[in-house]
Chain A
Amino acid sequence: MILTFVEQAAGRPDRSSLEALTFARRLAAAQGVPLGAVLFGPAAEVAAAVLGAYGVVEAHLVEPAGLDAYAPAVWGRSVAQLVGASPPTVVLAAGTDRGQEVLAYAAAMLDAPMAANCIDVRPGEPFEVTRQRWGGSLLEKARLDGPVRLLTVAEHVTQPEEAAVPTTVSISRFTPTLSEADLRVRVIGRVAPEPGKVSLADARVVVGGGRGVGGAEAFSELEELAGLLHGAVGVSRVVTSAGWRPHSQQVGQTGTRIAPDIYIACGISGAIQHIVGCKAAKAILVINTDREAPIMSRAAYAVIGDLHTVVPAVSAEIRRRQAL
């Protein structure tokens, strides 16, 4: 069997988990084994019921006694014990914070290997995976050996796709055996998101600024353009390291991943660690003095010039047209 850890909120499976399930179903078909899922938390049963559309035949609802909150070691222990109960060949999860974390716990507890952020897998002996390194700017082909193999599926690579023939999901409940130590790490509180703020990850327009902006004050030019376009400002790491802007605005491997309709990258050279954060943009417009900057080969459009003249001119042109 192949077991997939499915994350859900209010009875709806997360999109990343549906991507992972689609990936898992193809692997299950290639290996000729059934597809199972493991779910946690309130409303897990509601979420489990819809997984037949994705080819799941067996869903395990984990009910850790007296624990509703997210607790990574408890969830990892539960997955590890489910594996022990009916050995699946492969355990999968989405490459999300929780997916990586729960699977890493399960792998450590099982003393089994885990490959993070896979985009492809070739079952067989040896079992080969292709996985992302450097946040996705490099790929690695690797062997994954062991009686049970754990892997996470890189987000936004596989499109979620329902099975040609839906299956009937048989639902069972599982209560893990936990130690005091498993229970130590758990969510004890939450802080809700700020209401009404355009989040960088969801913005339709992102105006990006890099070293070429030259200092903290000059960001007002980018703020103005972003405001006119109801977008957000994103920055490179040079900008956050210099303290010109907070890290929450950083785009890239160690920052936020954005997917706007257009990313207007001003004074940014296009290091691979920045590109992995913005390559999901539908279009990139570069504003740069250097027509040889590496980002040019990733961009659909470019303006060659000093951003301090180009950006205010674009804002002025938008205002002029809006006034007509």
Chain B
Amino acid sequence: MNILVCVKRVPETGGRVTLSADAREIDTRYLGFTVSPHEECATEEAVRLVEANGGSSTVLTLGPEAAADQLRAAMAIGIDRAILLETDGQDWDPVATAAAIVDAIRAEAAAGVQYDLLLFGNEAADSGDFQVGIRVAIALGLPCINGVKSLEIKDGVATARREAGGGWEVFQVPLPAIVAVREGINLPRYPSVPGRLRAKKKEIERSVPVARQAGAAGPEKIRLSLPAESEGRAEILGTGADAAPAVVDLLERIGVLA
């Protein structure tokens, strides 16, 4: 079975975020980069499915040249091929991103590569647009299941579950299909040292995506801001075990100690 996973390079922020001078980006001078946890899980799922069923897995990203790092990270845990749709580093909106992914999948098909399963994250970590997978599904005429936390493939049928109201909803679709997964579907493995070395030597297939000319566009980013939060200093109740009576006084005061 042939699987494609789509991932997006995003900054790995920590306790505080600062913005660039024009407030259009996160200031990434001191930050590393990663992909969304949902996409890490999608990658792991692809590797497991190929381990279990045979076939081949491919990772794809639309992003700057540096996004090759995220593709190598995916190959380090066992993804076979990597495709970089290289941009000049500007963000593409979700409509344009989906269109570029569709073009790439069509180009693959023209070259004889058909995918049985396209895996996405439920939403990108940074922009959280909640739509790229669905737009790709509509363009390609494929069924799409979102928010998936458990996936089983058998006899050309995907059975997927997602959380709903404390329980689960079950969906079932024939392949080929799109599945957008959530963190928790699996526990991604750490890359091994030999895995990393292998990934370093592997080729990354590059192309330059063509921006779509007609139809919808956006949302078009104007600028970012940090939400106004009431930042303050915590009242220090004490140090070490000696603070226990003050903590329990507090719990009594707010009424959570029956």
Whether both chains belong to one complex is answered with yes
Query: In the bound complex, do residue A116 and residue B129 qualify as a contact, i.e. CB atoms below 8 Å apart?
Result: yes
Within 8 Å by CB of A294, from B15, B143, B247, lies: B15
Q: Which of A133, A269, A316 contacts B15 (CB 8 A)?
A: A269
Interface residues on A, range: 35 or more
Within 8 A of A (CB), among B3-39: 13-17, 26, 36-38
Chain A CB count within 10 A is highest, among B169, B218, B229, for B218
The answer to whether B52 has its CB under 8 Å from any CB of chain A is no
Nearest neighbor of B145 in chain A, beta-carbon distance: A185
Min Cβ gap B184→A in Å is: 3
B245 vs chain A, min Cβ distance (A) = 6
Beta-carbon contact of B247 and A237 below 8 Å: no
As a 0/1 sequence over residues 152 to 169 of chain B, the CB contacts with chain A under 8 angstroms (1 = contact) are: 000000000110111111
Q: Report the separation of the CA atoms of residues A301 and B216 in the bound assembly, to the nearest whole angstrom.
A: 49
Report yes or no: B167 in contact with A191, Cβ–Cβ below 8 A. Answer: yes
Select the residue from A97, A110, A188, A273 with max chain B CB neighbours within 10 A: A97
The secondary structure that dominates the A interface is: mixed
Question: What CA separation (Å) do A108 and B71 show in the bound complex?
Answer: 28
B224–A139 CB distance below 8 A: yes
With A129-B219, A133-B224, A261-B255 known as contacts, the answer to whether A310 contacts B250 (CB < 8 A) is: no
- Bound CA span A68–B121, Å: 28
> Closest chain B residue to A321 by CB distance?
B248
- CB < 8 Å: which of A110, A194, A254, A283 contacts B183? A254
Chain B nearest CB: distance from A132 CB in Å?
Answer: 7
**A41 an interface residue at 8 Å Cβ cutoff?**
no
Closest Cβ neighbor of A243 among chain B residues? B187
Contacts of A194 in B (CB 8 A): 166
Select from chain B the residue with minimum beta-carbon distance to A260: B256
Q: In the bound complex, do residue A138 and residue B183 qualify as a contact, i.e. CB atoms below 8 Å apart?
A: no
Question: For residue A128, which residues in chain B have a CB less than 8 angstroms away from its CB?
Answer: 222
Decide: B218 and A142 in contact? CB cutoff 8 A.
yes
Partner of B146, one of A97, A204, A291: A97
CB pair B216 A111 closer than 8 Å: yes
Interface size on B, residues (CB 8 A): 88
Q: Which residues of A contact B231 (CB under 8 A)?
A: 297-298
Which residues of chain B are near A167, meaning CB under 8 Å? none
Do B248 and A143 have beta carbons less than 8 Å apart?
A: no
CA–CA, A33 to B249, complex, Å?
A: 54
CA distance A85 to B205 in the complex (A): 45
Q: Is the CB of A314 within 8 A of B184?
A: no
Residue of B17, B126, B216 with highest tally of chain A CB at under 10 A: B216
Give the contacts of B222-246 with A (CB-CB under 8 A).
Answer: 222-227, 229, 231-241, 243-246
Q: Which A residues from 133 to 167 make CB contacts under 8 A with B?
A: 133-146, 152
> A316's contact among B128, B222, B244, by CB below 8 Å, is which?
B244
The contact string, 1 if C-beta is below 8 Å from chain A, for chain B 101-129, is 00000000000000000000001011111
Of all chain A residues, which has the CB nearest B185?
A247
Pick from A133, A187, A204, A310: contact of B240, CB below 8 A: A310
Q: Is the CB of B258 within 8 A of A139?
A: no
Q: Are A301 and B218 in contact (CB under 8 A)?
A: no
B251 at interface by CB-CB < 8 Å = yes
Assembled-state Cα–Cα distance A140/B220 (Å): 10
The proximity string for A residues 206-244 relative to B, scoring 1 for CB distances below 8 Å and 0 otherwise, is: 000000000000000000000001110000010011010
Within A278-324, the residues touching B (CB, 8 Å) are: 279, 282-286, 291, 293-306, 309-310, 312-314, 316-318, 321
Judge whether A271 and B15 touch: CB under 8 Å.
yes
Query: Smallest distance from the beta carbon of B159 to chain A beta carbons, Å?
Result: 9
Closest to B222 in A: A141
Establish whether residues A137 and B17, one from each chain, have CB atoms under 8 Å apart when the complex forms. yes
Partner of A115, one of B123, B219, B258: B219
Does A117 sit at the interface, judged by CB under 8 A?
A: yes
Closest residue to A109 on the B side, CB-wise?
A: B138
Residues from chain B with a CB closer than 8 A to the CB of A189 are 169-170
Separation of A147 and B94 alpha carbons in the complex (Å):
18
A101 within 8 A of B: yes
Q: B250 near A190 (CB under 8 angstroms)?
A: no
Whole-angstrom distance between the Cβ of A228 and the nearest chain B Cβ: 8
10 interchain residue pairs of minimum CB distance: A294-B15, A193-B166, A247-B184, A313-B241, A142-B219, A104-B131, A305-B240, A302-B234, A191-B168, A313-B244
Q: Contact residues of B with A, CB < 8 Å?
A: 13-17, 26, 36-38, 93-95, 98, 123, 125-131, 134-135, 137-139, 141, 143-147, 161-162, 164-174, 182-184, 187-188, 215-227, 229, 231-241, 243-248, 250-251, 254-258
A to B CB contacts below 8 Å, 17 in the list: A72-B146, A101-B130, A139-B224, A142-B218, A144-B219, A185-B144, A188-B172, A190-B170, A243-B187, A253-B125, A254-B37, A262-B254, A270-B15, A271-B13, A272-B13, A272-B16, A304-B239
Known: A145-B217, A184-B143, A286-B234. 7 other contacts (CB 8 A): A100-B146, A240-B184, A269-B15, A279-B229, A285-B247, A303-B243, A317-B244
